[in-house]
């Protein structure tokens, strides 16, 4: 009990310090993820002396945290945004990963003098962009939907192949290669990736069907149910030997776009859970780090390897993948610079450590230096780079926010419809909305005033409307508002 009580004291203190770091990092222009990592290093062996050196536990906890982060990313991904870019995102997450691994293996071995297997593993663990870094940094920049969704889709999809490749390369390095050689590994990875995607689609569609048809007794249960269902996809995938990361991201994306009740609350809950996972993950990885092992040659190697990866390999991979999609050069340049690495490379660097591979500690330290240095450079510069490339879209906003809430056993829904400052409905009278039969706007909330409207009521920006409609009229109600916005891009149902 004493140990549990001490944990209950220390854990919230660390969490509050880390949350405070988010505010400090925002003001200083630094990514909060690096501040979380610093907190872990301060708590570790070189700071307060809390020792944590179990790579196996770190790998397991890292995978669990990444599952929650991917679930949050999927739940908040808009299908109408990612649909036009899913092809490019998928190619970057597969072909781009292979190009990165191949080039970094050659550069690491012949230019940097690394042993071949260490060069291969360095390329593999750093091949994928990091979902935690991309989701937390990019969503604060008003980018065009195509650019943002390409990067988010890539980071959500590329964890699956990189994890499988790192595991296969580590097994081969310790004398346990996959039967069939490289062709056998390629077939296995492809089968696991496709299997994870298909499982995510199946469970996501089933989750939408179930959660839309069962009224739960408390609104707070819907976010928990949605997140639990997404994580369930990862658990099922691991039991049938397909990619859990692909399954959880695809399943969460189906749930996030499935017109579920209390979607806004679900996304807010998932975002909070994602932040909790990120904080715990980076603090843990900081504690796993050993600053006493990081010598000047490790720092130099990490900086030089990162230089090749950031300024040569990533741009080449993006160009080779994007050339088939006729992506403008400005967007290609931003996609190249915004290939953020974060927690995922550090987590994957624990895989060789857990397998007791020679030089695995050295690989971990080089990856740590690379991630810290280049995340600190790239992340704060992204808004500036986006503006210089003419990609900032200050008008990128949601004009209407829908919040449907089932009324338990009654076959009716209560909608809360909020007009943002960008809404074209401002200045429109209610009689022009042409709501479906039996649907009614019962209240308008305007600043501190609440009143019952009539047909002549003129809507204003930031108004909140309470709309009651039969449950089977939900889509008709949303379509009614969308029609008056000049197109579906202004109303994503969130």
pLDDT in tens, the chain (494 residues): 677 888 788 778 878 877 776 666 666 556 677 788 888 888 887 777 788 888 889 888 989 998 998 898 888 887 877 888 889 999 999 999 999 999 999 998 898 888 888 889 989 998 988 877 777 777 667 788 788 889 888 888 888 889 888 988 888 888 877 776 778 778 888 898 899 999 999 999 999 998 887 777 777 888 899 999 999 999 999 999 898 989 999 999 999 888 787 777 888 888 888 888 888 888 888 888 888 888 999 999 999 999 999 999 999 999 999 988 988 999 999 999 988 887 788 889 999 998 888 888 888 999 999 988 988 888 888 888 988 998 876 544 444 555 666 654 456 777 778 887 666 777 888 887 778 878 888 889 988 888 888 888 888 888 888 888 887 777 778 777 766 554 333 333 33
CA dihedral 22, 27, 29, 33 (to 10 degrees): -10
CA distance 260 to 251: 13
> Positive or negative, the Cα torsion across 465, 466, 468, 472?
positive
Report whether 182 contacts 120 (CB < 8 A): no
Roughly what angle, to the nearest 10 degrees, separates helices 263-288 and 32-43? Answer: 40
Helix axes 221-239, 55-75, angle to 10 degrees: 130
- If 0-12 CB within 10 Å is exposed, 13-18 middle and 19+ buried, where does residue 310 land? buried
Q: How far apart are CA 131 and CA 241, in angstroms?
A: 22
* Count of CB atoms situated within 10 Å of the CB of 373: 17
Q: Right CATH number for 400-490 from 3.30.70.1450, 3.30.460.80, 3.40.50.720, 3.40.30.10?
A: 3.30.70.1450
Nearest to 251 by CA among 193, 196, 211, 190: 196
- Give the integer Cα–Cα distance in Å for 301 and 307: 10
The predicted structure's pLDDT at residue 31: 65
pLDDT at residue 467, as a whole number: 87
Spatial separation of the C-alpha atoms in residues 225 and 262, rounded to whole Å: 11
Question: Domain ranges in the chain?
Answer: 53-388, 400-490
Angstrom distance (rounded) from CA 291 to CA 41 = 8
pLDDT score recorded for residue 488:
35
Kindly report each contact of residues 479-482 with a partner whose C-beta sits within 8 Å and lies 24 or more positions away, as own/partner.
Answer: 480/433, 480/434, 480/435, 480/436, 481/400, 481/402, 481/417, 481/425, 481/433, 482/400
CB atoms within 10 A of CB 384: 11
CATH 3.40.109.10 given to domain 53-388: no
Tell me how far the alpha carbon of residue 330 is from its chain's centroid: 24
Q: For 58-82, b where at least 16 C-beta lie within 10 A, e where not — what string? A: bbebbbebbbbbbbbbbbbbbeebb
* Rounded Cα gap, residues 280 and 298, in angstroms: 26
CA nearest to 70, candidates 225, 199, 203, 231: 231
């Amino acid at each position: 009990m004493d140990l549990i009580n001490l944990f209950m004291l220390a854990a919230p203190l660390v969490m509050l310090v880390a949350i405070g770091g988010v505010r400090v990092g925002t003001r200083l222009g630094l990514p909060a993820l690096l501040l979380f990592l610093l907190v872990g290093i301060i708590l570790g062996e070189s700071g307060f002396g809390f020792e944590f050196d179990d790579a196996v536990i770190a790998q397991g906890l890292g995978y669990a945290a990444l599952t929650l982060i991917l679930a949050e990313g999927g739940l908040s991904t808009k299908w109408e945004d990612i649909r036009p870019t899913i092809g490019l995102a998928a190619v970057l997450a597969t072909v781009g990963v292979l190009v990165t691994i191949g080039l970094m293996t050659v550069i690491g071995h012949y230019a940097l003098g690394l042993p071949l297997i260490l060069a291969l593993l360095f390329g593999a663990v750093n091949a994928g962009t990091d979902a935690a870094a991309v989701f937390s940094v990019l969503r604060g920049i008003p980018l065009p939907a195509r650019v943002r969704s390409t990067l988010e889709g890539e980071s959500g999809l590329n964890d699956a192949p990189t994890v499988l490749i790192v595991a296969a390369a580590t097994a081969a390095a310790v004398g346990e290669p996959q039967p069939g050689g490289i062709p056998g590994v390629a077939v296995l990875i492809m089968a696991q990736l496709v299997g994870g995607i298909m499982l995510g689609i199946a469970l996501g569609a089933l989750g939408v069907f179930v959660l839309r048809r069962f009224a739960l007794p408390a609104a707070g249960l819907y976010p928990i149910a949605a997140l639990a269902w997404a994580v369930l996809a990862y658990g099922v995938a691991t039991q049938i030997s397909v990619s859990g990361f692909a399954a959880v991201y695809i399943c969460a994306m189906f749930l996030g776009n499935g017109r579920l009740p209390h979607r806004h609350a679900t996304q807010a809950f998932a975002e909070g859970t994602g932040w909790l996972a990120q904080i715990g993950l980076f603090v843990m990885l900081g504690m796993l780090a050993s600053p006493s092992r990081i010598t000047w040659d490790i720092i130099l190697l990490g900086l030089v390897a990162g230089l090749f990866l950031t300024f040569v390999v990533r741009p080449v991979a993006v160009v080779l993948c994007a050339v088939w999609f006729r992506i403008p050069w400005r967007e290609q340049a931003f996609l190249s610079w915004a290939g953020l690495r974060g927690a995922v490379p550090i987590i994957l660097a624990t895989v060789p450590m857990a397998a007791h591979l020679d030089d695995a500690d050295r690989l971990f330290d080089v990856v740590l230096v690379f991630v810290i240095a280049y995340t600190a450079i790239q992340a704060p510069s992204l808004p500036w780079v986006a503006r210089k490339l003419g990609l900032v879209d200050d008008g990128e906003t949601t004009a209407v926010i829908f919040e449907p809430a089932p009324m338990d056993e009654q076959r009716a829904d209560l909608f809360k419809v909020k007009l943002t400052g960008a809404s074209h409905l401002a200045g429109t009278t209610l009689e022009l909305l042409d709501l479906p039969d039996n649907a009614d706007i019962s209240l308008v909330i305007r600043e501190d005033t609440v009143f019952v409207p009539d047909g002549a009521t003129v809507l204003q920006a930031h108004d909140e409307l309470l709309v009651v409609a039969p449950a089977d009229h939900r889509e008709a109600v949303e379509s009614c508002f969308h029609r008056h916005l000049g197109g579906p891009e202004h109303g994503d149902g969130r």
